Structure 1
Amino acid sequence: MNNSCTNVLFGEENLRIEDIVALAEQRAMPVLSSAPEFTTRIQAGADFLDRELRDHGHIYGVTTGYGDSVSRRVPPELVAELPLHLSRFHGCGLGNLLSANQARAVLAVRLASLCTGYSGVSLNLLRQLSGLLEHNITPLIPEEGSVGASGDLTPLSYVAAALIGERDVLYRGEKTTAEDALSKAGLTPLTLRPKEALAIMNGTSVMTAMMCQAFVRADYLCRLTARITSLASIGLLGNPAHFDKRLFAAKPHPGQARIAAFIEGDLADLGANYTPARLQDRYSLRCAPHVIGVLADMMPTFRTTLETELNSANDNPLIDIEGETILHGGHFYGGHVAFVADGMKTLIANLADLMDRQMALLVDTKFNHGLPSNLSGSDADRASINHGLKAVQIGVSAWTAEALKNTMPASVFSRSTECHNQDKVSMGTIAARDCLRILQLTEQVAAANLIAVKQAITLRLKNGEIRDAQLGNDLTTFLDALGRDIPFIAEDQPLEGTLRLLVDRIQGRHWALYGEDIAS
């Protein structure tokens, strides 16, 4: 990963998923456009709302209640208080808090949406949102409480609260009040203008932020699973011919072919002296490109959908500045993000299932072609008391089962809520949370498999069944890096610390893999 800090410009070009992730990981800083076209457009939206309120006095969410309460008129003397009430009564989230990285991603995605200029917000609001990112002020956002339409109301209320100096935040990693954090950063609590609480809260930014982070993790996991398959194939004396480019020219799904090419390249140095144990390997080796390749082929579609959402105006109502019209719609509905999350999580769980089967072959003497039981590296006279990776393989089975269980699509579980005003909702945020959970579990499976393939290949090398030169430069470099983190397991030992370190490595995209992203 590149640790140099860059700038991400808001208000001109469309942002990419990687921009949001860089801001979330503090590898980039936000910069609001100073172009006259941008500042004029933002100011025009705010000015139009002021004129509309003055001349006509009736605007949804400004002089009316929210949602089913749209028929409730708000008298002029209470209009200024209405945004505060929206932010406060939604302060009822529960569950785990989003991580600081996730909260920063939420701030960045919401800023991107409001910078499209359709929401009628002020430049001061955009500057305050940008200021939270610049000064590392992250709202403490509970992850539960959104049905994904009318957007992520409850979790985004914690963003609105931070902007106005209410509730708790992290300031440079330390918990404090929002009021205190703003003061230390030299920022003034924002006074919300009419509609601004609605503009902040009534959108898909939490689910979209989660899925931007899920996207980069899925991309890396896709490539890592290919590398693990290469190493598992060597460890099991598999047949490299299964990955021949001519095979994949006959069934030319491009992502599938790229995965096969990755694996074929990894195995290219095995040479003529290498003899596979079987003519046709079991499916978890032979069909690995067909499993991994589905995710690889869908990633460009996932990118297009997420980046369209990221760069969209997704609150309600919207402002047509040129036509000076208020447009009432339902862009807060998170159906597209929900579909990406439900689709991606199924494909990721299939990676867990694939690696689970590969590990089951590696540890079982009935299938591993001469490797010791559970890959134990103990001396023969101590084999009776050593159990190698037996428990780790059980853990892999447990993590895989949980990942597969969570693949039930969340988007089909719409619930009518809010007095039947929100009678069809997306469940996009729940789908995104499921996706992140499945990613975590699958990354744990990958961590365990890294231990297994490293142990298997070390045993093959020790026994002279393969030689270092047959591994090639890329695999040798990768195995050397693994060797700095993974001990050779000669005697039974706790492996929790090693597994946690490897999961951190995976989530930090620590190893260079094939020199390209799947969906770049």
Structure 2
Amino acid sequence: MVTLTGHSLTIEQVKQILWKQERVEASPEAMAKVAESRRAVEEIVASEKVVYGITTGFGKFSDVLIAQEDVETLQLNLIRSHACGIGEPFPEDVSRLMLIFRANALLKGLSGVRPVVVERLLDLVNHRIHPVVPQQGSLGASGDLAPLSHLVLVLLGEGEAFYQGEKMSGGDALKKTGLEPLTLTAKEGLALINGTQAMTAQGVINYLHAEQLGYAADGIAALTMEGLRGITDAFEEEIHIARGYKEQTEVAKRIRAYLENSQLTTRQGELRVQDAYSLRCIPQVHGASWQVLGYVKEKLEIEMNAATDNPLIFDGGKKVISGGNFHGQPIAFAMDFLKIAAAEWANISERRIERMVNPQLNDLPPFLSSNPGLESGAMIMQYAAAALVSENKTLAHPASVDSIPSSANQEDHVSMGTIGSRHCAQIIANTRRVLATEWICAMQAADFRGVERLAPRTKKIYELGRTSCASIMADRVFHYDMERTTELIENLCYNDTFLGLQKNTLMEA
């Protein structure tokens, strides 16, 4: 069981919730704070004070006062009118994290909702009811208004949800699990949708998959080193300590450990004096991407535990402050940074693919073909990888440098963080396919060099890869090999097979 406090949720706990099906609960102390802030809201409504979002309209309508008898209607209208998301829905894991992160933010006790609202969010999580949330339509400031409104619709018995593999109405999903729809009261609709939970939820999923891609990139690159008879001197510890980047030093350590006892790698001067940058600079390039992951993880863990709605209630209601914590700029920057890091894994991987298939750059059969000329071998695999790399360059353009005014220019600067987060997911998917292609080519190069000469650890990577892609004895429809190998890399995110090998390598090195 993972206990939410509003302050202490971590990426490691998220892994437990997503992949180990841990249930989620709210801490009693945090729920007491929720109840306290709720009493402050009820006092504001009873005394008819003018407070944004509680007794007024929203956005440009902040100067419109709302009568006490219309407070519930105001909240319902808010959710329905703001549910303007478009496009394909977010994956269920993203929807699940949106519920968890929204509940965790409310548990800080600064939002003024009733405890039952938090309870119902966690009910959806524990019953595995995942609202259908369209991916497009958020500007990433005033929060993820459209996506979160679709999330809230299910609490009201409206909208749509995924339940037990089936898409159904939100009302039906609640009925199947014995849950009652909520009726929102003062401030609750605003508190539920004023936040960055869509971009943050997708961002956390991005991080988890990028982390696994990083390990995969290091291992696959080590196998490529053997296929190209790479020079190991460039990975010696002294050179990386001399520069001082921890992540670069760690990548070099991993590569050395993978290649230990290889009969295929070479030393300076044996075949050549220096390798091309795509081999020699693996620690520097991969290490820089690992640096980005550290930055992104830090920002995501802050945002997962942040109060991001508006207004916020302090000192038992003595201070109700309108601010801008809903602005997604920190996560927008983080996602744009992660886009670049993931794109670079693909960029350098594609160059290593080129070095394996180009007969002018190696002594392997042209395009790794068993019958060059009659058969094209991996020729068009490299084309496909190059196309994905080029597409990544377009997607890597920072979403956060854009802005557009909304709500009659009241909301005149926005983050576009959700767009950045979505584009990051696409770059990661593209990069996974490029790495899968490198894996296929590296295995084929190993076949030509002699699999028995591989290092013990890279041989395990070879054997794992061969479970999805058989040796290429003749031309075939390689699309299926590429898709199966891509799926293998993606599935490694959910278990310890590849990562487990990596941890053991680090411990033994």
Q: Please give the range of the TM-score, normalised by the shorter of the 2 chains.
A: over 0.9
Taking the TM superposition and a 5 Å limit, the aligned residue runs for 1:65-80 are 65-80=57-72
Distance 1:388 1:273, change over 3 A: closer
Distance 1:97 1:516, change over 3 A: farther
Pairing partner for 1:481 from 459, 464, 477? 464
What are the Cα deviations for residues 50-97 of structure 1, in whole angstroms up to 9, with x where unaligned?
011112432211221101110111122211111111100112111221
What are the Cα deviations for residues 484-503 of structure 1, in whole angstroms up to 9, with x where unaligned?
21111011111222222222
TM-aligned CA deviation for residue 13 of structure 1: 5.5
Taking the TM superposition and a 5 Å limit, the aligned residue runs for 1:334-353 are 334-353=328-347
Q: In 2, are the aligned partners of 1:48 and 1:321 still within 8 Å (CA)?
A: no
Gap regions ≥5 residues in structure 2: none
SS of 2:503's equivalent in the other structure is coil
Alpha-carbon distance in structure 1 between the residues aligned to 2:144 and 2:6: 25
TM-aligned CA deviation for residue 29 of structure 1: 1.7
Q: Percent identity, please.
A: 31
TM-aligned CA deviation for residue 352 of structure 1: 0.7
Alignment partner, residue 25 of structure 2: 31
Matched to 2:489, the amino acid is I
TM-aligned CA deviation for residue 190 of structure 1: 0.8
Alpha-carbon distance in structure 1 between the residues aligned to 2:271 and 2:207: 37
**Structure with a larger share of its residues in helix:** 2
SS of 1:194's equivalent in the other structure is coil
Alignment partner, residue 250 of structure 1: 242
Q: Is 2:402 aligned against 1:416?
A: no
Q: In 1, are the aligned partners of 2:36 and 2:316 still within 8 Å (CA)?
A: no
Q: In 2, are the aligned partners of 1:135 and 1:172 still within 8 Å (CA)?
A: no
Alpha-carbon distance in structure 2 between the residues aligned to 1:160 and 1:61: 17
Q: In 1, are the aligned partners of 2:225 and 2:265 still within 8 Å (CA)?
A: no
Shifted more, 472-481 versus 214-223: the winner is 472-481
Distance 1:517 1:344, change over 3 A: farther
TM-aligned CA deviation for residue 460 of structure 1: 0.6
What are the Cα deviations for residues 390-425 of structure 1, in whole angstroms up to 9, with x where unaligned?
111110010110011111111010111111111011
Shifted more, 100-109 versus 405-414: the winner is 100-109
SS of 1:238's equivalent in the other structure is coil
Matched to 1:446, the amino acid is L
Pairing partner for 1:47 from 31, 39, 45? 39
Alpha-carbon distance in structure 2 between the residues aligned to 1:360 and 1:57: 68
Alpha-carbon distance in structure 2 between the residues aligned to 1:153 and 1:12: 21
What are the Cα deviations for residues 256-279 of structure 1, in whole angstroms up to 9, with x where unaligned?
110111111112213699565321
Alpha-carbon distance in structure 1 between the residues aligned to 2:24 and 2:127: 11
Q: In 2, are the aligned partners of 1:62 and 1:82 still within 8 Å (CA)?
A: no
What are the Cα deviations for residues 20-63 of structure 1, in whole angstroms up to 9, with x where unaligned?
34434463221222x3x222211111111101111243221122
Alignment partner, residue 279 of structure 1: 273
Alignment partner, residue 369 of structure 2: 376
Alpha-carbon distance in structure 1 between the residues aligned to 2:354 and 2:188: 55
Alignment partner, residue 393 of structure 2: 404
Q: In 1, are the aligned partners of 2:72 and 2:183 still within 8 Å (CA)?
A: no
What are the Cα deviations for residues 155-176 of structure 1, in whole angstroms up to 9, with x where unaligned?
0001110111011111111011
Alignment partner, residue 495 of structure 1: 478
Superposition CA RMSD, Å: 1.8
What are the Cα deviations for residues 242-293 of structure 1, in whole angstroms up to 9, with x where unaligned?
1110110110100011011111111221369956532100010011111111
TM-aligned CA deviation for residue 452 of structure 1: 0.7
Q: In 2, are the aligned partners of 1:377 and 1:459 still within 8 Å (CA)?
A: no
Alpha-carbon distance in structure 2 between the residues aligned to 1:41 and 1:457: 61
The number of aligned residues is: 499
Distance 1:327 1:457, change over 3 A: same
Distance 1:178 1:273, change over 3 A: closer
Matched to 2:389, the amino acid is T
Alpha-carbon distance in structure 1 between the residues aligned to 2:311 and 2:55: 13
Distance 1:256 1:183, change over 3 A: same
Pairing partner for 2:377 from 365, 369, 388? 388
Pairing partner for 2:282 from 282, 288, 291? 288
What are the Cα deviations for residues 190-225 of structure 1, in whole angstroms up to 9, with x where unaligned?
111211111110000000001111111111111211
SS of 2:122's equivalent in the other structure is helix
Alignment partner, residue 4 of structure 1: none
Q: In 2, are the aligned partners of 1:23 and 1:104 still within 8 Å (CA)?
A: no
Pairing partner for 2:149 from 154, 157, 178? 157
Pairing partner for 1:147 from 126, 139, 150? 139
Taking the TM superposition and a 5 Å limit, the aligned residue runs for 1:117-266 are 117-266=109-258
Matched to 1:130, the amino acid is L
Q: Is 2:362 aligned against 1:362?
A: no
Alpha-carbon distance in structure 2 between the residues aligned to 1:107 and 1:251: 43
Matched to 1:85, the amino acid is N
Q: In 2, are the aligned partners of 1:42 and 1:120 still within 8 Å (CA)?
A: yes
Alpha-carbon distance in structure 2 between the residues aligned to 1:151 and 1:24: 24
SS of 1:384's equivalent in the other structure is coil
SS of 2:325's equivalent in the other structure is coil
Alpha-carbon distance in structure 2 between the residues aligned to 1:113 and 1:71: 27
Gap regions ≥5 residues in structure 1: 1-6, 462-466
